Amino acid sequence: MASDNMKMRAQLKGDVTEVKVLMSHPMETGRKKDDFDRLIPAHFVQLVTATLNGKTVLEAQWGTGISKNPYLTFRLSGAKTGDTIEVTWHDNLGETATQNITVT
């Protein structure tokens, strides 16, 4: 899927790598109504996984309570400059996006 779907940054600070991720997603709860008073169907990210050089480091399950255009920061110890971090999300409608970044 489109690579502009996710913005990522991974910076090594001391011996900890801080990874920041901004996803583009409506995160509809299924409780909101449109201008014509019709319910907007739920559409939200359910699963986010992150890997470091192919090894899983973070698995997140999300509900509808995460804000629109989800933001996430996590920290890894043991990552080095040049390592690859990949983040993938899956939503309740079967859509998915993947993005990777090199640690700097």
Q: Please report, as ranges, the residues that interact with another protein according to CB under 8 A.
A: 16, 29, 31-32, 46-47, 50, 52, 55-68, 70-79, 90, 94
Taken in order 11, 2, 24, 48, the sign of the CA dihedral is: negative
Q: Which residues contact 27 (CB under 8 A, 6 or more apart)?
A: 43, 44, 45, 64, 66, 67, 68, 69, 70
Amino acid identity, position 62: W
Q: Supply the minimum distance, in Å, between the C-beta of residue 98 and another protein.
A: 14
Q: Is 4 helix (H, G, I), strand (E, B) or coil?
A: helix
The least distance separating another protein from the CB of residue 3, rounded to whole angstroms, comes to 21
Task: For the CB of residue 50, give the shortest distance to another protein in the complex, in Å.
Answer: 8
